[in-house]
Amino acid sequence: MRIISYNVNGIRAAIKKGFIDWLKTDPADIICLQEIKAAHTDIDVKILEDLGYEHHWFSAQKKGYSGVAVFTKIKPDTVKIGCGFEISDFEGRVIELQFGDIKLINAYFPSGTSGDERQTYKYQWLKEFHGYLEKIKKKNPKLILCGDYNIAHNEIDIHDPKGNKKSSGFLPEERVWMDKFLGAGWIDTFRVFHPEPHRYSWWSQRFPGVRLSNKGWRIDYFSVTKPLQKQLLAADIYHEVKHSDHCPIYLEIKI
């Protein structure tokens, strides 16, 4: 099973930048998208179907905001949208697909960059979602969680750790949440295969040239529970793919 996770920062904008042409190269069996900023009625889904993808969407109630989607060439046994938390579901943040004994969860974690109110909600979401994952894990020990976590975990995951100590996405409380999350039986799959520095998945659009100079953050992840550890085959970051301020990340797993 080859899986891509990709914050497209607006699927319609990504399509204008060649996203569909990239899909035609068959980059993965399953494409998990975050921040789609659209509904399925806003694009020509026949193009996806012609490429062999079944598609599932969970758009935000607010138009042009947030939302997640999954395009898959492997038919899921079940699909579930939402996680039961009001604000999270209003913003279209979580979609789950079951493939045999493996559950794939595609999630778009909140950002706190727009101010204290959203940062407070981010902490609330992280607490709620951690409890939600622990509950799911009891029934489904084989879990894959992918998406834009909006957190750079360690200093190796950010180009300027000293200068960003007070920046949302690298705050001590957020990094402690990642410690707790990984300590609860999850594996950061990229670091299994890539211990090297300077590998990032997002570059700010506020500062010209940061992508060219690779001044980025690694805030997009594939995490799996420990029962899947021996089934991991590969993980990577496709920094050369440019339809968004993020780039796709990749996981290959034996099923």
Active-site residue, 148 included = yes
Q: Which two tokens stand for residue 109?
A: 């974690």
Q: Which of 116, 148, 188, 220 is catalytic?
A: 148
Separation of first and last alpha carbons in the chain: 7
CB contact at 8 A, 243 and 18: yes
Which residues in 240-251 are b (16+ Cβ under 10 Å) and which e?
Answer: ebebbbbbbbbb
Which residues in 163-194 are b (16+ Cβ under 10 Å) and which e?
Answer: ebeebbbbbeebbebbeebeeebbbbbbbeee
Q: Which amino acid is at 245?
A: D
Residues known to be catalytic:
148
